[in-house]
């Protein structure tokens, strides 16, 4: 059974009825010890202030999306190499200040010059490993399903595995998202066994609606988490989903009952 401290609340999608800086305390009160961030909102806040918010809430930061100039990134965008380098240096500063050891590097959409995209992506990932690797930071890449992001460059775990092989760095790994993987091709258990050795971070969400990963959705996460136990996975489990109750007050907390069995219990604060 996963330990409660393995579950990481993605405060880019959870607690969104609250202002960004109030979500840290809300996550702690809900029983979390770890958070992650998938939005660029964090870069509107000085890193030192984010560190203060994490410390005040007694939280660790498991992962954040690298600084980018567009919502879906520019790592596989020809002609955007200078922008990527600037964003990489900002990301480095935040990794150091926040003591965060995993980042998500987004590729961006399919470009007009598709043949040029792959070498650009590989070179940028090599550069990210060169800059962030010495800090002990892992750079993750994540395929997104075509139903949600029809034009996104990175389309499958198989494609990602080929890119990781080309990059050839222990500091660049896969972000394995069960929600995206189920929609892309299913066969989750076999995919998990195949790709976990190359994985640097896992994320969960219900399918098909990307709500709470509980027993109301099509994926049996009790079974999946038991398989992770068999595989002796000790990393974080990112909860990257939108509460089915939307942004109503208390929407996130009302959907966390499925986590009680794993020891994630609300705190009195």
Beta strands in the chain (DSSP E): 7-10, 34-37, 60-65, 102-104, 138-141, 172-177, 199-204, 237-239
- Rounded to a whole number of angstroms, the distance between the first and last alpha carbons of the chain is 27
User: Token pair of 8, please?
Assistant: 């990481």
97 is catalytic: no
Structure tokens, 145: 């399903």
Which residues contact residue 261 at a Cβ distance below 8 angstroms, ignoring those fewer than 6 apart? Answer: none
Which residue's entry shows tokens 């027993």? 215
**Cβ contact 50:97 at 8 Å:** yes
- Per the DSSP assignment, residues forming a β-bridge with 171 are none
Residues found in the chain: 269
Q: Which of 73, 66, 167 is nearest to 126 (CA)?
A: 167
Tokens of 130: 């060169």
Query: Contact, 133 vs 175, CB < 8 A?
Result: no
Helix (H, G, I), strand (E, B) or coil at 152: strand
Q: Can 142 be counted among the known catalytic residues?
A: yes
From 36, 74, 212, 240, the catalytic residue: 240
The one catalytic residue among 74, 142, 212, 253: 142
Catalytic residues: 142, 240
């Amino acid at each position: 059974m996963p330990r409660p401290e393995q579950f990481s609340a993605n405060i880019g999608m959870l607690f969104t009825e609250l202002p960004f800086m109030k979500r840290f305390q809300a996550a702690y009160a809900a029983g979390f010890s770890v958070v992650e961030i998938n939005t660029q909102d964090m870069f509107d806040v000085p890193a030192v202030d984010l560190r203060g918010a994490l410390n005040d809430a007694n939280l660790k930061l498991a992962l954040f999306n690298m600084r980018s100039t567009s919502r879906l990134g520019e790592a596989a965008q020809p002609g955007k190499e200078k922008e990527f380098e600037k964003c990489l240096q900002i990301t480095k500063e935040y990794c150091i200040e926040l003591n965060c050891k995993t980042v998500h590097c987004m590729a961006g959409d399919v470009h007009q010059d598709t043949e040029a995209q792959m070498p650009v992506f590989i070179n940028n990932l090599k550069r990210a490993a060169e800059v962030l690797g010495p800090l002990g930071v892992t750079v993750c890449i994540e395929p997104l399903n075509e139903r949600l992001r029809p034009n996104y460059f990175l389309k499958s775990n198989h494609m990602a595995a080929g890119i990781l092989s080309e990059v050839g760095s222990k500091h660049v790994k896969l972000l394995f998202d069960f929600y995206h993987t189920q929609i892309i091709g299913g066969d989750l258990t076999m995919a998990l066994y195949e790709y976990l050795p190359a994985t640097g971070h896992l994320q969960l969400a219900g399918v098909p609606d990307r709500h709470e990963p509980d027993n109301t959705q099509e994926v049996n996460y009790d079974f999946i988490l038991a398989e992770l136990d068999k595989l002796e996975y000790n990393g974080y489990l990112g909860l990257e989903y939108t509460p089915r109750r939307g942004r109503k007050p208390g929407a996130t907390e009302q959907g966390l009952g499925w986590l009680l069995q794993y020891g994630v219990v609300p705190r009195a604060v």
